C-alpha cells in the first residue's frame, strides 16, 4: 500500500455463481486512490469496472461473491480492511466516509418519498448528533422565553425525548412515543431542522429553486436534477471518498457538462477523493487526474491522464484510444469480441484480440509492473527491463 | 445535387387526452414545422438533446407515424417540387385543387393502403437498441427474411438464398442463420437489424442512434460498415444521434434540432468549425474531448429544456440564450442562409441577418 493512499485494493477477486458456470468477473485487481485525487476507471461493458466499485462497499449483488483480496481504507490514521468488517460497521461507513452515486438517478431514488425525506434519512443516520443538538439548543431557548405552564410542560417533555434520542436513538421508549398521535408531534422540530439542512445542501448543488425541489417526488424532477439530488445525498456527510458509477451516462451532453462542472467544483470545495467509473474517455480526460484501464476483469494500465493519452503502452489502451472516431482519420476498431468470462482466455485475457500477441501471452498472465514513475502496465511486451 | 426527400412545414403533435370524455386538452409538439431537404446518396445527420423530437421526425419522414400537418416529398422531380412550392403560397381556390392533385401523387404524407405499403420497401429504419427491436422468439433467418415475405419480394425457395446473401453483406455467415438474437453480441445484433433494413433494397434508411448501445471498440466497426454499405448500395442516410463526435465523422451535412425546430443546418465541417446559433455553440462546447491537454472554454447552458407542450414564445431557445434580445421573445426566427456563396449555412436566429448587414 502506498503511503499517501486513502484506499487501496489488493488482488481483489470476485466471482458470480450462475447456472451457466462461474463467472470470473474480477481477477486480481490492484488499485489505489490518493487523498483528494480523481481516479478514472475506464473499460468496455462487462469488464468489471462497476463490480470493482461495488466491492469496495461490499455491495456485490447476490450470485456474486468476493473470493479473495484486501480493501484497505485509511480512516483516522488507522488502516482498516473493509472486507473483514461486519455489516454493522459497513452500514455506519457507507454514506458517511465512502459514498456512491449510481448510473440511473431515477432508480437510485425511492419513488414514494420526497427529496426532503430521502436526503433527511442520510442526515438522521450519520449526522444525528449535530442536528439533534441544534434542536435541543433551540428548545432550551424557547423554554426560557415561554411563560405558559402548559406549553412549558410540552417543551419539557419534548426536551426529555430529544435527550433520549441523543443518547440512544434505537430506544424502545422513543419508538413507542413516535406511535402515539399527540406525542408524535415532537418529531416536527427535528424535521424542520432537517429541512433547513437539506435546503442548504441543495443550494450547494446549485439546484434552482430548492424550496420547491425539497417537496418534490423523484418523478417530478428531470434527469439532470435527479442526478444532482443523488449527488447531494452522497455528499451530505462530506465523505472522504466518492465512488461515481457512470453518473452522467444517462444524461444529455449539455446536462452532462453541468454535472461534471459541479463535481469538479465540489471536489475542490470538500477535498474528497473520487473514483469515477465510466466508458467515456472524453469525460476521463476532462475530469480525472489518473486513469485505470480495465479489460475482462483485470487492470491493464494505470497512469497519469496526460501520460496515458500521450503515451499509451498497453495494446488494449492503444486500441481504445484509436477507436475514438476522429473526422480526419479512418475508423479503427479492436477486432474480435470481449471474451465470455465463464471461460476466459488463458494467460493474458487480451491475447486473442492483441496484434502483438506472443507465445508467452497465451500461457502466463502478465503481472502489473511499474514501467515509469506512476505508470503501471500489465503486458509481456514491457518485461524486466 | 438531386434531392431525395424534402419536408415542408412538417408537424407531428401527440395529443394529451383528459377530462371525462377523453378530449384533446393539449398537444406535445414533438416536431413543429420542420423544413429539411436530404440529397441523394448523402448521409444527413440530425442532432439534438433527448426529447427534442429527432426520433419522431425520423419516424414521420418514413411514414411510420402519420404527420399532423405538412408535406413530405419523396423522389419528386425538381419541377414538381418547385411547382408545389409556388402553389403553397397562393390561396386561390383553383390553385388549391391543383395542389391537392399534385400532393396526392407526390406527397407521401397523404399516401394510404397499398401505395404506402409499396413505399415501405424503399424506406427502412434501424433502431437504437437491437436487443429490443429484434423479436427474441424468431430465428435470424426469419427476422431478416420477414420483409421479403411481407412485401412479396421473393418466392419461397429464394428467401433463404437472399437472406444469406444479405447477411454476408453485413459480415455474418451461414452458421448464424439458425440462431436467436440473444446468442449474439450487441454489435452483431445491430448487424442483423441492418441486414433486415437493407434486404428490400431501400434507397433511404433512417439510422436512429444505431451506435449508442454498443461499446467504443465496436462502434468504429459499425460506422465503417455503414459507410461501406452506403457506397455499395447507393443508400441515403438520415443519421439521428446525440453523439456529436460520431456525427462529425460520418455525416455530410448536419441539422441541429431544438424543441421540435431546426435551428441550424450546414455542411458538417463548416458547422463544427464555426457554429453560429448559440444553442449549437453550447451543444458543441459541452462535448468532452478525449485529450487532457486541451482545456477549452465552456459555454454552460442554464436550466433545462422546456416542455414541448407549452414551448416558449418567439425563439424557443430564448429563456436559456445568453444573447436573448426583446425581439427573441416575440418573433420566431426563420432559417436564413448566411453564406453568400458555396454550400448554404442556414441559421434560425435573430442575431444573424443584422450582423451581416452592418
Which DSSP string corresponds to A302-316? EEEHHHHHHS--SHH
| B339 part of a folded domain | yes
pTM of the complete model = 0.85
pLDDT band at residue A176 under the 50/70/90 scheme? confident
| B185 part of a folded domain | no
pLDDT score recorded for residue B245 = 86
Residue B279 near residue B314 (C-beta atoms within 8 A) = no
Specify the range with the lowest mean pLDDT, choosing from A132-141, A161-170, B164-173: A161-170
ipTM of model = 0.81
pLDDT score recorded for residue A2 = 61
Who has greater pLDDT, A337 or B247?
B247
- Cβ–Cβ of B49/A252 closer than 8 Å? yes
pLDDT, tens digit, 9 for 90 and up, residues A227-245: 889 988 988 888 889 999 9
pLDDT score recorded for residue B49 = 85
| B318 part of a folded domain | yes
Give CA–CA dist B40/B44, Å, rounded.
10
| B309 part of a folded domain | yes
Strands, E assignment, B146-288:
204-208, 236-241, 253-258, 261-267
| B344 part of a folded domain | yes
Spell out which residues of chain A touch residue B286, defining contact as CB-CB under 8 Å.
253-254, 256-257
B342 CB within 8 Å of a chain A CB: no
Average pLDDT of the segment spanning A189-218: 88
Give CA–CA dist B70/B13, Å, rounded.
12
Q: Which of B286, B295, B296 to mutate to test the interface with A (most CBs of A within 10 A)?
A: B286
The yes-or-no verdict on residue A119 having pLDDT over 80 is yes
Who has greater pLDDT, A364 or A4?
A364
pLDDT band at residue B163 under the 50/70/90 scheme? very high
DSSP state, residue B177: T
pLDDT score recorded for residue B252 = 93
B299 CB within 8 Å of a chain A CB: no
Give CA–CA dist B17/B69, Å, rounded.
19
Run of H or E residues at A50: helix A49-56
pLDDT, tens digit, 9 for 90 and up, residues A34-51: 988 999 999 888 888 888
* Per-residue b or e along A194-214, where b marks 16 or more CB atoms closer than 10 Å to that residue's CB: bbebbbebbebbebeebeebb
Across chain B, mean pLDDT equals 87
Pairing of strands A298-304, A290-295: antiparallel
Give CA–CA dist B256/B284, Å, rounded.
11
Residue A318 near residue A356 (C-beta atoms within 8 A) = no
The C-alpha of B73 sits at a distance from chain A's nearest C-alpha, in angstroms, of 31
pLDDT score recorded for residue B235 = 92
pLDDT, tens digit, 9 for 90 and up, residues B186-230: 888 999 999 999 999 999 999 998 888 788 878 888 898 899 999
B340 CB within 8 Å of a chain A CB: no
Q: Which of A222, A333, A337 sits opposite B304 (nearest CB)?
A: A222
pLDDT band at residue B357 under the 50/70/90 scheme? very low
pLDDT score recorded for residue A204 = 84
Residues of A with CB under 8 A from a CB of B: 44-45, 208, 222, 224-225, 252-258, 260-261, 279-286, 305-306, 309-310, 319-321, 323-327, 330-334, 337-338
Q: Which domain holds residue B338?
A: 273-357
SS3 A256: helix
What's the number of domains chain B is made of?
1
Spell out which residues of chain B touch residue A261, defining contact as CB-CB under 8 Å.
298, 300
- The order of strands in the sheet holding B23-39 is B23-39, B3-18, B69-74
The yes-or-no verdict on residue B269 having pLDDT over 70 is yes
| B314 part of a folded domain | yes
pLDDT, tens digit, 9 for 90 and up, residues A282-301: 899 988 999 999 998 889 99
Average pLDDT of the segment spanning B60-88: 87
Spell out which residues of chain B touch residue A286, defining contact as CB-CB under 8 Å.
288-289, 292
Q: Which of A257, A312, A320, A339 to mutate to test the interface with B (most CBs of B within 10 A)?
A: A257
pLDDT score recorded for residue A373 = 84
Give CA–CA dist B118/B112, Å, rounded.
10
pLDDT, tens digit, 9 for 90 and up, residues A296-328: 888 999 999 999 999 999 999 998 888 888 888
- Which residue in B has a C-alpha nearest to residue A305's C-alpha? B292
pLDDT band at residue A385 under the 50/70/90 scheme? very low
pLDDT, tens digit, 9 for 90 and up, residues A73-84: 988 778 889 888
pLDDT score recorded for residue B231 = 92
Task: Spell out the SS3 assignment of A143-165.
Answer: HHHCCCHHHHHHHHHHHHHHHHH
Pairing of strands A64-75, A38-42: unpaired
Q: Which three cell numbers stand for residue B275?
A: 457554429
| B277 part of a folded domain | yes
Give CA–CA dist A286/A266, Å, rounded.
15
Q: Which of B16, B17, B44 is CA-nearest to residue B268? A: B44
pLDDT score recorded for residue B1 = 64
pLDDT band at residue A384 under the 50/70/90 scheme? low
pLDDT score recorded for residue B143 = 93
The yes-or-no verdict on residue B112 having pLDDT over 80 is yes
- Cβ–Cβ of A325/B221 closer than 8 Å? no
Specify the range with the lowest mean pLDDT, choosing from A67-71, A167-171, B179-183: A167-171
pLDDT score recorded for residue B358 = 42
Which domains does chain A carry?
A: 5-43+59-112+217-291 (3.40.50.300), 115-198 (no CATH)
- Which residue in A has a C-alpha nearest to residue B188's C-alpha? A337
| B292 part of a folded domain | yes
pLDDT band at residue B354 under the 50/70/90 scheme? low
Run of H or E residues at A243: strand A241-245
Query: Which residues have CB under 8 Å from B302's CB, separation 6+?
Result: B320
Spell out which residues of chain B touch residue A256, defining contact as CB-CB under 8 Å.
286, 288
- Which residue in B has a C-alpha nearest to residue A221's C-alpha? B304
Amino acid at each position: 500500500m502506498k503511503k499517501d493512499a486513502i484506499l487501496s485494493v489488493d488482488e481483489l477477486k470476485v466471482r458470480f455463481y450462475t447456472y451457466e458456470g462461474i463467472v470470473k468477473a474480477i481477477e486480481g485487481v490492484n488499485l489505489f486512490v490518493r487523498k483528494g485525487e480523481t481516479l478514472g476507471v475506464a473499460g468496455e461493458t462487462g469488464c468489471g469496472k462497476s463490480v470493482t466499485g461495488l466491492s469496495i462497499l461490499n455491495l456485490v449483488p447476490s450470485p456474486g461473491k468476493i473470493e479473495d483480496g484486501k480493501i484497505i481504507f485509511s480512516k483516522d490514521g488507522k488502516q482498516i480492511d473493509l472486507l473483514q468488517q461486519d455489516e454493522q460497521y459497513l452500514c455506519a461507513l457507507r454514506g458517511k466516509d465512502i459514498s456512491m452515486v449510481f448510473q440511473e438517478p431515477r432508480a437510485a431514488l425511492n419513488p414514494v418519498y420526497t427529496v426532503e425525506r430521502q436526503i433527511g434519512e442520510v442526515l438522521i443516520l450519520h449526522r444525528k448528533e449535530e442536528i439533534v443538538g441544534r434542536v435541543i439548543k433551540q428548545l432550551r431557548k424557547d423554554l426560557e422565553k415561554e411563560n405558559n405552564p402548559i406549553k412549558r410542560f410540552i417543551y419539557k417533555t419534548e426536551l426529555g425525548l430529544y435527550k433520549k434520542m441523543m443518547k440512544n436513538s434505537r430506544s424502545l421508549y422513543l419508538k413507542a412515543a413516535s406511535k402515539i398521535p399527540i406525542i408524535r408531534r415532537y418529531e416536527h422540530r427535528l424535521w424542520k431542522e432537517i429541512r433547513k439542512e437539506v435546503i442548504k445542501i441543495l443550494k450547494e448543488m446549485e439546484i434552482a429553486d430548492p424550496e420547491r425541489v425539497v417537496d418534490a417526488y423523484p418523478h417530478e424532477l428531470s434527469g439532470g436534477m435527479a442526478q444532482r439530488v443523488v449527488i447531494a445525498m452522497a455528499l451530505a456527510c462530506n465523505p472522504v471518498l466518492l465512488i461515481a458509477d457512470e453518473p452522467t451516462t444517462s444524461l444529455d451532453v449539455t446536462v452532462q457538462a453541468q454535472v461534471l462542472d459541479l463535481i469538479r467544483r465540489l471536489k475542490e470545495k470538500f477535498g474528497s477523493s473520487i473514483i469515477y467509473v465510466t466508458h467515456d474517455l472524453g469525460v476521463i480526460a476532462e475530469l480525472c487526474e489518473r486513469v485505470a484501464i480495465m479489460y475482462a476483469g483485470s487492470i491493464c494500465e494505470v497512469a497519469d491522464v496526460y501520460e496515458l493519452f500521450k503515451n499509451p503502452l498497453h495494446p488494449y489502451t492503444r486500441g481504445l484510444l484509436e477507436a475514438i472516431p476522429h473526422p480526419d482519420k479512418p475508423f479503427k476498431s479492436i477486432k474480435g469480441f470481449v471474451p465470455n468470462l465463464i471461460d476466459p482466455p488463458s494467460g493474458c485475457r487480451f491475447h486473442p484480440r492483441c496484434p502483438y500477441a506472443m507465445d508467452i501471452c497465451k500461457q502466463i498472465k502478465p503481472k502489473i509492473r511499474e514501467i515509469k514513475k506512476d505508470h503501471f502496465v500489465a503486458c509481456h511486451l514491457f518485461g524486466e527491463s | 445535387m438531386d434531392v431525395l426527400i424534402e419536408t415542408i412545414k412538417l408537424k407531428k403533435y401527440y395529443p394529451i387526452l383528459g377530462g371525462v370524455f377523453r378530449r384533446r386538452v393539449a398537444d406535445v409538439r414533438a416536431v413543429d414545422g420542420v423544413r429539411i431537404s436530404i440529397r441523394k446518396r448523402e448521409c444527413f445527420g440530425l442532432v439534438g438533446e433527448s426529447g427534442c423530437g429527432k426520433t419522431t421526425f425520423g419516424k414521420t419522414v418514413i411514414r411510420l407515424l402519420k404527420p399532423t400537418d405538412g408535406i413530405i416529398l419523396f423522389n419528386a422531380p425538381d419541377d414538381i417540387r418547385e411547382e408545389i412550392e409556388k402553389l403553397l403560397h397562393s390561396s386561390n381556390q383553383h390553385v388549391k385543387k391543383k395542389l391537392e392533385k399534385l400532393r396526392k401523387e407526390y406527397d407521401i404524407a397523404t399516401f394510404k393502403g397499398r401505395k404506402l405499403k409499396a413505399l415501405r420497401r424503399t424506406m427502412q429504419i434501424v433502431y437504437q437498441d437491437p436487443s429490443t427491436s429484434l423479436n427474441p422468439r424468431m430465428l435470424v433467418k426469419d427476422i431478416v427474411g420477414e420483409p421479403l415475405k411481407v412485401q412479396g419480394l421473393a418466392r419461397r425457395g429464394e428467401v433463404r438464398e437472399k437472406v444469406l446473401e444479405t447477411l454476408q453483406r453485413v459480415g455474418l455467415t451461414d452458421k448464424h442463420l439458425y440462431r436467436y438474437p440473444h446468442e449474439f453480441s450487441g454489435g452483431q445484433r445491430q448487424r442483423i437489424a441492418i441486414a433486415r433494413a437493407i434486404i428490400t433494397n431501400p434507397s433511404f434508411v433512417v439510422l436512429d442512434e444505431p451506435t449508442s448501445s454498443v461499446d467504443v471498440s465496436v462502434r468504429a466497426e459499425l460506422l465503417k460498415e455503414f459507410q461501406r454499405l452506403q457506397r455499395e448500395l447507393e443508400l441515403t442516410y438520415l443519421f439521428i444521434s446525440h453523439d456529436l463526435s460520431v456525427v462529425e465523422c460520418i455525416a455530410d451535412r448536419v441539422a441541429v434540432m431544438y424543441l421540435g425546430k431546426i435551428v441550424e443546418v450546414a455542411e458538417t465541417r463548416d458547422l463544427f468549425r464555426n457554429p453560429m446559433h448559440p444553442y449549437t455553440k453550447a451543444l458543441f462546447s459541452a462535448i468532452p474531448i478525449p485529450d487532457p491537454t486541451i482545456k477549452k472554454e465552456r459555454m454552460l447552458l442554464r436550466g433545462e429544456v422546456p416542455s414541448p407542450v407549452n414551448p416558449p414564445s418567439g425563439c424557443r431557445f430564448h429563456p436559456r440564450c445568453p444573447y436573448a434580445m426583446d425581439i427573441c421573445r416575440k418573433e420566431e426566427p426563420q432559417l436564413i442562409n448566411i453564406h453568400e456563396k458555396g454550400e448554404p449555412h442556414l441559421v434560425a436566429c435573430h442575431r444573424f441577418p443584422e450582423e451581416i448587414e452592418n
